[in-house]
Structure 1
Amino acid sequence: MSNTDPLPNPHAYRPPRDTARRAALTVQTIADVAAGFLVLWILLDLLGANEGNVFVEFVHAVAGWLAGWAQDIFTMDTESLRVLLNYGLPAVIYLAIGHGTAARIGRV
């Protein structure tokens, strides 16, 4: 016996599961980009990038905005360790919250 059903309509209504997956992917991507800026700033700072460069200034401004709530949680004598901890903690938190939220949304 052969299947005589017509081909699915590409414009048909998509179930909410597809929407939930897209929302989860969006949340996960935003968290990854935020953590990426923070990690990029840590690398640029540790490698001694020229802070007068426009790109470095932009990355520093975005990372400073993203990690503004966590600034000076750790006050170390070593500048590189302070940057690593004060920008690394928000990166880890953004990844954990973003991926955790995406997993919850994706289960719908």
Structure 2
Amino acid sequence: MRLAIMASLALAALTGCASYFSVTSLEPDGSGGYRFKAPATSYEWPLDDPRWEAERRAMLQRRLQMSGACPTGYRVTDRQPVLAEQTTLGDVWFVTYFIRCNA
């Protein structure tokens, strides 16, 4: 698992945003909403950097549009960063956004 996370993040860092998007995920949460997960690191895509937070939110919107979910809009009900790994390059986080579609 550790090697897979680091390999995915390294590839994304080398190839830019397109690959970064590929290490995000959107899945139903089982209660009518969705969970969107995106990586953040202390050396690339910083966790609390406003620019990268805006980019993660834009990717969330793209994932929702691609899946056809929430056609009338959505709201983020929670944001939870979880430390996945500490490496010599810095910390690796996965930020989970909890989503509810508008009625």
Structure with bigger strand share is 2
| Structure having greater relative contact order (Cα 8 Å, sep ≥ 6) | 1
Which band: TM-score by shorter chain?
under 0.3
Q: Which one has a bigger Cα radius of gyration? A: 1
Return the TM-score normalized by structure 2. 0.28
TM-score (norm 1): 0.27
